[in-house]
Structure 1
Amino acid sequence: MKNQIPKYLTIKQQANKSSEANMYIDGEIVTDEWYDSDTSAAGFRDALKDLGDVKTINLHINSPGGSVFEGIAITNMLKQHSAHVNVYVDGVAASIASVIAMCGDAIFMPSNSMLMIHNPWTMAVGNANELRKQADDLDQIAKASIATYLAKAGDKLDEETLKELLDNETWLTAQEAVNYGLADEVIGANAAAASLNKKFAQRYRNVPKQLISEEASKPQVDNERQQILKNSQARADALAEQLKNLKEAY
């Protein structure tokens, strides 16, 4: 049986009627969903409820990251769930997606997948006091991520080394992730290797060249946005016509 609730999170119940379920995070971690691949904390929560009483969740991740707080919420939901969670990094788990991956009781990485860890960042405007607060907030967020990585890594990774990896925006191969305790097992390569679209390739500093996707970026507006733009343009055209008529009248 295949169910899809919500649209961007695919759930497949196994034939044995509920003991195991596969879930997929295949795109950006967001607050508001615009694309089928987007995943939000609210949507993930609803999907978990829809699973019912399963004993095993196989979570497949291929995500460039996104919203820190949405990702932390998803991570905590999975940690609190009674099921055994197997995480499979199908292509790439970057930024907050790598934090979500740490929720796994077991983490599996194909030999051609990658895990990227870095310090959180944001875009901010404001006066000096407001910008200092933004920096302090980022430090607090970083502490939460550090605690999550170290909890998974155990004695394979110390805090000093981890902070250095975060400072350098480190792209770990599957074997390197295992060596640092951030994954448990390297498995056979996937047919499709890890890749990033141009949006995220430009956002991150040290993206390996082989990960930059040559595929055309997805459209910047979907049908709903296109309709909003059309409506806005129609109002602008109407206003321009009214102004033209007023000028002609005077």
Structure 2
Amino acid sequence: MRLYGAIGPRVDGDYFAQELASLDRGDFDMIHIRMNSPGGNVFQGMSIVSAILSMNTPVCVHIDGIAASMAAVVAVAADRVCMMDFAKMMIHDPYFTGESGKATSPKQKKALARLTDMLRQVLVRRGKDEATMAKLMREETWFSAAEALDAGLCDEITSSARNEFMNLDPMQLVAAVDAEYQTNNQEQMEKINLSAEAIVALGSKSGQMDEAAVSAAIVAAVAAKDEEIASLKAAKETAEAEIARLRKEKEDAVAVEAVSFADALVKAGKIAADAKDAVIETFKANPENARKIFGSVPERTKLSSLAGTQGGDAGKYAAKSWDELDRAGLLAELKANHPDLYEKKYKEMAASLHICRG
């Protein structure tokens, strides 16, 4: 992978981190990142750092030009760091851009302190103690390749024989390395040898295409994929709408059945009328459970039928409610003389209160 340019303005750090993590499939012995960056956005840079630190596949960063500021933190997070002999590295404390001449608020100072500590914790992984690293960051320290090696910030120096790059200042070096890459990249793109998969995907017959043909083929392939995605999205939306319709249809049917079920219970005397709404909601939530629960409730026997069968003074009890009998002190007498009527009265009272005898 290549990290050339400022993190944020030119290189999307979050996207770069995602692409890097996608390579951690166990297919490679090592992943190489070529770097030439003046730094950039701390948070996007930390996305890349997090990806590197969480990977199982070793990562090697090659500093082709400079690794400054946030780019230096990304570099030293790697398992191995190699620097060209003319390359440079710089570390410093973070700061808010566009704050020149403005007083830093207490809240901003607190945020900067936390960011500084976070970056320092990555840098000290290479062996420097925190106090020394804090001083180097505070003083905005530049390292040549040899100095970075001595400080433990890189593991290897690559000889280049590029003396013309040796004495360039940092931004000149960034520009020179970038320009060389762009030139080489252009030359390589003039004729592109395609893999077997690319030949099929792009419709090449010879296996070789120029840049314009590749671009046109890619545009056409992307357009076809976009159309396929749009078709699949429309099919998904249609399916979701049908599922919603069927779900609503089922809910409506259950609601109708719930009302009918509750009405039947009221009619059979198994529940009181004011318990109907609760039964309906119970049925909607779980029809099978509702049938089991309320199916075991006995039907209420009309008291008028008991009055003629209990004999003697049963009528005076049948006309009264459980509460009336209780207040009149007749429950014990009823239980002794007419146990069946007593049991019916009790069940009627229990059903109205939605309780059951243990």
Instruction: Report the TM-score range of the alignment, normalised by the length of the smaller protein.
Output: 0.5 to 0.7
Match of 1:188 in 2: 159
1:169 matched residue in structure 2:
140
Higher RCO structure (Cα 8 Å, ≥6 apart)? 1
- Which residue, 72, 87, 95 being the options, matches 2:69? 95
Q: Measure the CA separation in 1 of the matches of 2:40 and 2:163.
A: 22
Aligned equivalents of 1:163, 1:84: Cα separation in 2: 27
Offset at residue 194 of structure 1 (A): 6.6
- The answer for the alignment partner of 2:15 in structure 1 is 42
Distance 1:169 1:210 in 2: 15
SS of the aligned residue for 1:90 comes to: strand
For the residue of structure 1 that corresponds to 2:169, the secondary structure is helix
Q: 2:87 aligns with which of 84, 109, 113?
A: 113
Q: 1:134 to 1:124 in 2, by over 3 A?
A: farther
**Deviation at 1:91?**
0.5
Deviation at 1:51, TM superposition (A): 6.6
Deviation at 1:88, TM superposition (A): 0.7
Equivalent residues in 2 for 1:59-78, closer than 5 Å: 59-78=33-52
Higher strand share: 1
The structure with the larger Rg is 2
Maintained 8 Å contact 1:110/1:190: no
CA distance in 1 between partners of 2:148 and 2:35 (Å)? 15
SS in 2 for 1:74: helix
| Structure number with higher helix proportion | 2
Shift in Å at residue 44 of structure 1? 3.2
How far the C-alpha of 1:211 sits from its partner, in A, is 2.5
Residue by residue, what CA displacement relative to the aligned partner does 1:180-211 show, whole Å, maximum 9, x if unpaired? Answer: 1111111213749779xxxxxxxxxxxx9723
1:92, 1:194 within 8 Å by CA — same for their partners in 2? no
TM-score for both structures, normalised by structure 1:
0.61
How far 1:48 sits from its partner (Å)? Answer: 3.5
Offset, 1:109 = 0.8
Taking the TM superposition and a 5 Å limit, the aligned residue runs for 1:73-222 are 73-123=47-97, 131-152=105-126, 154=127, 157-189=128-160, 191=162, 210-213=169-172
CA deviations 1:92-127 (Å, max 9, x no partner) are 0010000000121111111100110000000367xx
TM-score (norm 2): 0.44
- Once residues 68 and 115 of structure 2 are traced to their aligned partners in structure 1, the CA distance between those partners, rounded to angstroms, is 16
Give % identity. 28
SS in 1 for 2:43: helix
Quote the Cα distance in structure 2 between the aligned partners of 1:137 and 1:193.
41
Distance 1:163 1:80, change over 3 A: same
Amino acid at match of 1:24: R
Change (3 A) 1:87 1:163: same
CA displacement, residues 16-52 of structure 1 (integer Å, 9 cap, x when unaligned): xxxxxxx11001111xx6x5xx232124313542674
Q: Quick one: distance in 2 between partners of 1:175 and 1:45?
A: 32
SS in 2 for 1:213: helix
User: Which contiguous aligned blocks of 4+ residues in structure 1 show a shift greater than 3 angstroms?
Assistant: 50-53, 190-195
Measured in 1, the distance between the counterparts of 2:12 and 2:90 equals: 19
1:28 aligns with 2:1: no
Q: What displacement does 1:131 show? A: 1.6
Q: 1:213 to 1:102 in 2, by over 3 A?
A: same
Aligned residues: 174
Aligned pair in 2 of structure 1 residues 177, 44: CA closer, same or farther (>3 Å)? same
Q: Structure 2: which amino acid aligns with 1:45?
A: Q
Question: In the alignment, which residue of structure 2 is the partner of 1:226?
Answer: none
Structure 1 residues 190 and 77: alpha-carbon distance in aligned structure 2, compared to 1, 3 A threshold: farther
Distance in 1 (alpha carbons) for counterparts of 2:32 and 2:69: 20
